[in-house]
Amino acid sequence: MKTDISKVRNIGISAHIDSGKTTLTERILFYTKRIHTIHDVKGKDGVGATMDSMELEKERGITIASAATFCEWNEHEVNIIDTPGHVDFTIEVERSLRVLDGAILVLCSVGGVQSQSITVDQQMKRYKVPCIAFINKCDRSGANPERVIVQLKEKLGHNAVALQMPMGLEIKFEGVIDLIKMKALYFDGSNGETVREEEIPSQYLEEANAKRDTMLDAISIFSDELTEALLEEKEITQAMIIEAVRKGTLTRELTPVMIGSAYKNKGVQPLLDGVNAFLPCPSDVENEALDTEENEKTVILSTDMKKPLVSFAFKLEDGQYGQLTYIRVYQGAINKGDTVINVRTGKKVKIGRLVRLHANHSEEIEMIPSGYIGAMFGIDCASGDTFTAPGLSLTMTSMYVPDPVISLAIVPKDNKSEMNMSKALNRFTKEDPTFKAHVDDETNETIISGMGELHLEVYVERMRREYNAEVSTGQPRVAYRETITQRADFNYTHKKQTGGSGQYGRIAGYIEPTDEGDFIFENDIKGGSIPTQYIPACEKGFKNCMAKGPLMEFPVTGVKITINDGASHSVDSSDMAFQAAARGAFLEGYRRATPVIHEPIMKVVVETPTEFQGTVMGTLNQRRGMIVGAQDEGVMCVIEAHLPLADMFGYSTVLRSSTQGKAQFTMEFSTYKQVPKNIAEELLKKAAENKKKAA
């Protein structure tokens, strides 16, 4: 580990799906001699890229979990976290950007700024992470870096400044022109490992000069020396330019843009030079903690190793050697054997093993100094916990955890699977705060919730592979209700008098709908036709019927029962008899009271770019939705609708795919409403079939 913190870079690589993050990381590791062979993400050799260590990742060719590694480039130590591109795994990006100092925003030169590019950009903004934009895949058909730079400006609002221009594009892509050095760069060798500098070919010279002028104009604002040199037509040195670009980048007022093709081994080494030159070292970044004893006053942390420890646990993995907690040290240092405090729990913990990570491998270290990321074994804690030296009252703000958007019911296939499923859920929910599991009180189903279908699919598959828990999944059951729509009389006699002690009770009265509560019982008995001591039993009998309605065994709501007559027997009447009578009376009255099924109606609010307003309204309309209104807010608009919960299953996927992932929605319970007749008939039919199967 470097002692000179100015030569340390902690960077994340983030982007939309399939932009080339993992491929780029693979090349970085190769050129920095961290690995000796390049393997493709979904290569024919089946090995997979270094950072995709999970079997599922290799099989599917996607990054599921973020992976950390480190390397060295031109005397700088570069700690890298490669993150997933799918929004389903957004927590990995969130936690990585929380602890990193800089980032590379990878953009596909064909796809440009895509939906997850917008999300990761927002995440970088949230944590104020400076970034370099790398326009990748310039070898692909349709590559257009100029268009991507315009999108960076218009869609993401970046002050994007190109530091390079391509020499050829698509199949003719042969290298890049460095507008700072004004040299052409070619990448020779079987893996592009040798960077050859040449004079700019004549056909590109005019354009290169024009682009350099544009670049200098854009960055001069960050350097008085550069501005002066431009105005007075003095020599402009590379150092001046680099200093100006760095200054703009560190304050996030400028985004340097570099170009290449990681897959074709072009443009990666200059990008690494850019990381060293433009992205911050740990001491360039102002990190804050809150003083819990001073009303959460903000305290600026120092990278001084001599100061008391302040560190942040941002990821945990449960493994065979216990919990592995990824940690970023902001102030001081963590040494093996130290005693530190978990600020959230207040507990003291002794640090056992400390490691540094390279994908799924680790190497033992004695200490994690300030500005570095490492991991500790065997400490039980949660993501977002702050660890400090004893006596310190500082805590760090945690990362933002978005709410889940989709739920599934899961059913284990057998008892063994049930136990294993439970263990798996405990572990996964601990490791991933966006993955939640609970048992529904009403339906008794185990419900898992996550950020998307892929998210849940991956966990179900991991349950199967890692825990041998076979589960089946399905739509969560909707919590329907039953109620009545009109008043109906009842007059029921419960009689069992066949010899010996019998049972007798008669209850008369009426059942009617009410708005005033779920269940109201009124005693209107006159003249003691039902003895007072049996009235509570009557009420209990009626109330017990409310839990499972006669129609479909859904809870009954909005019912008022008034009893006004009855009869008892001096010997055979009892609490039990009147409870039974109440049950019979309830069934009798209920059937006559035109019972109906109610379904939960949700208030759904969709936020979407205005261009998709019509499409979104169409998706809501298709789901028996009643659109309340649409609120235009310039670039975005907000649509409010009321939809039955039963029709919301899978909506997040539909919304994403119909709006290129740019729309989001929230959903909350609004009210219960009567189910349309045809749906009620379907439900009744299904319930009858299920009963038959069960019988």
Partner 1 sequence: MVKKEIFFPDPFKQMGENIPAAGGFGALTASAGIGKTAFLVRMSLSSLLRDNNILHISLNNPVEKVCLQYEEVFRNLAAQHKVKVSDQLWETILPNRFIMTFKAETFSAPKLEERVNDLTEQGIFFPRMIVLDGLPFDEAPRKTFTDLKSLARKHGVPIWFTVRTHRHAPPGPDGIPLPMLHVADLFEAIFELHAEGNDIRLQSVRK
Task: Name the residues that contact partner 1, by CB under 8 A.
Answer: 515, 613-614, 617-618, 621, 626-634, 638, 640, 673
Nearer to partner 1 by Cβ, of 294 and 632: the residue is: 632
Name the minimum Å distance from CB 622 to partner 1. Answer: 9
Query: CB count, 10 Å around CB of 286?
Result: 9
CA–CA separation, 93 and 133 (whole Å): 16
Distances in Å between the Cα of 162 and the Cα atoms of 1, 176, 259 are 33, 11, 8
CA–CA separation, 643 and 627 (whole Å): 8
SS3 667: strand
CA–CA separation, 370 and 334 (whole Å): 8
Nearer to partner 1 by Cβ, of 635 and 695: the residue is: 635
Name the minimum Å distance from CB 670 to partner 1. Answer: 11
Nearer to partner 1 by Cβ, of 567 and 654: the residue is: 654
CB 12 within 8 A of CB 95: no
Name the minimum Å distance from CB 118 to partner 1. Answer: 22
Nearer to partner 1 by Cβ, of 401 and 679: the residue is: 679
CA–CA separation, 94 and 113 (whole Å): 19
Name the minimum Å distance from CB 141 to partner 1. Answer: 34
Q: What is the SS3 string spanning 537-598?
A: HHHHHHHHHHCCCCCCCCCECCEEEEEEEEECCCCCCCHHHHHHHHHHHHHHHHHHCCEEEE
Phi, psi torsion values for 70, nearest 5 degrees: -145, 155
Nearer to partner 1 by Cβ, of 51 and 641: the residue is: 641
Name the minimum Å distance from CB 589 to partner 1. Answer: 22
- Looking up tokens 């390279």 gives 358
Name all contacts of 260-263 with Cβ < 8 Å and 24+ positions apart.
260/134, 260/135, 260/136, 260/138, 260/176, 261/136, 261/137, 261/138, 261/139, 261/140, 261/173, 262/20, 262/23, 262/24, 262/26, 262/27, 262/136, 262/137, 263/20, 263/23, 263/40, 263/137, 263/139
Name the minimum Å distance from CB 646 to partner 1. Answer: 18
Nearer to partner 1 by Cβ, of 346 and 634: the residue is: 634
Name the minimum Å distance from CB 637 to partner 1. Answer: 9
CA–CA separation, 156 and 117 (whole Å): 9
Nearer to partner 1 by Cβ, of 528 and 634: the residue is: 634
Q: For 300, which DSSP code?
A: E
CB 590 within 8 A of CB 484: yes
Name the minimum Å distance from CB 631 to partner 1. Answer: 5
CA 41 to chain centre: 23
Name the minimum Å distance from CB 632 to partner 1. Answer: 4
User: CA triplet 533, 535, 540: central angle to 5 degrees?
Assistant: 120
CA–CA separation, 60 and 392 (whole Å): 46
Nearer to partner 1 by Cβ, of 500 and 629: the residue is: 629
Distances in Å between the Cα of 559 and the Cα atoms of 213, 510, 543, 548 are 79, 10, 10, 13
Nearer to partner 1 by Cβ, of 445 and 640: the residue is: 640
Contacts (Cβ under 8 Å, ≥6 apart) of 599: 478, 480, 481, 644, 645, 646, 672, 673, 674, 675, 679
Nearer to partner 1 by Cβ, of 113 and 641: the residue is: 641
Amino acid at 231: L
Angle between helix 238-250 and 268-278 (nearest 10): 70
Name the minimum Å distance from CB 594 to partner 1. Answer: 14
Nearer to partner 1 by Cβ, of 455 and 598: the residue is: 598
Phi, psi torsion values for 405, nearest 5 degrees: -120, -10
Name the minimum Å distance from CB 651 to partner 1. Answer: 17
Q: HSE of 307 in the Cβ direction (CA atoms, 13 Å)?
A: 14
Nearer to partner 1 by Cβ, of 382 and 630: the residue is: 630
Task: Copy the structure tokens of residue 376.
Answer: 């500790």
Name the minimum Å distance from CB 627 to partner 1. Answer: 6
Name the minimum Å distance from CB 610 to partner 1. Answer: 9
Nearer to partner 1 by Cβ, of 329 and 484: the residue is: 484
Q: What is the SS3 string spanning 210-268?
A: HHHHHHHHHHHHHCHHHHHHHHCCCCCCHHHHHHHHHHHHHCCCCEEEEECECCCCECH
Name the minimum Å distance from CB 629 to partner 1. Answer: 3
Beta pairing, strands 194-198 & 183-188: antiparallel
SS3 129: coil
Nearer to partner 1 by Cβ, of 251 and 657: the residue is: 657
Nearer to partner 1 by Cβ, of 199 and 633: the residue is: 633
CB 239 within 8 A of CB 261: no
Nearer to partner 1 by Cβ, of 628 and 688: the residue is: 628
Name the minimum Å distance from CB 519 to partner 1. Answer: 19
Name the minimum Å distance from CB 579 to partner 1. Answer: 34
